[in-house]
């Protein structure tokens, strides 16, 4: 694989996760699946693509785990607030409790977009990119 193709595939790997996460609505793990499939197809063709694919995959796993945690915590705290604030008296609005966590979930989407674009720009120049906050689960 020539250098231009390496940079193109590495860029696609970083953009694929954010594209699936924000636009395709494949659930909270669709971003992992899309990056994983692309990485498995091209990882043996280039060391650069393999390295960047692992980095993109690890970041998308991190984002998905954080999203799942926000959803779980939101559900638990909404239920606790509902019981504590008079759910059975008709004084509680579930949407009010849900909006408290919506900001954090939206922040995850924005961070995914920003860091994925930064990564795509860097690898398109031929530079390696490491996400600042990322669990390195795929070695």
pLDDT band, residue 73 (cuts 50/70/90)? confident
pTM over 0.95: no
Q: Is 92 left (phi over 0), alpha (psi -120 to 50) or beta?
A: beta
Question: Where do we find the tokens 């694989």?
Answer: 1
pLDDT band, residue 42 (cuts 50/70/90)? very high
pLDDT band, residue 1 (cuts 50/70/90)? confident
Percent of the chain's residues with pLDDT above 90? 52
d(CA 88, CA 79): 12
pLDDT, tens digit (0-9, with 9 covering 90-100), for 81-102: 555 555 555 554 555 555 666 7
- For the chain, give every domain's residue range: 3-124
Distances (CA, A) of 43 to 10, 46, 120, 124: 10, 6, 17, 17
């Amino acid at each position: 694989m020539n250098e231009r193709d390496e940079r193109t595939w590495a860029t696609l790997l970083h953009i694929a996760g954010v594209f699936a996460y924000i636009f395709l609505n494949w659930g909270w793990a669709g971003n992992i699946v899309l990056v994983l499939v692309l990485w498995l197809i091209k990882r043996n063709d280039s060391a650069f693509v393999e390295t960047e694919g692992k980095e993109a995959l690890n970041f998308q796993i991190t984002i998905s785990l954080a999203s799942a945690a926000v959803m779980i915590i939101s559900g638990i705290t909404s239920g606790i607030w509902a019981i504590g604030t008079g759910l059975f008296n008709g004084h509680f609005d579930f949407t009010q409790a849900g909006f408290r966590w919506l900001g954090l979930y939206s922040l995850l989407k924005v961070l995914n977009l920003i860091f994925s674009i930064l990564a795509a720009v860097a690898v398109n120049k031929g530079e390696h990119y490491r996400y600042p906050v990322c669990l390195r689960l795929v070695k």
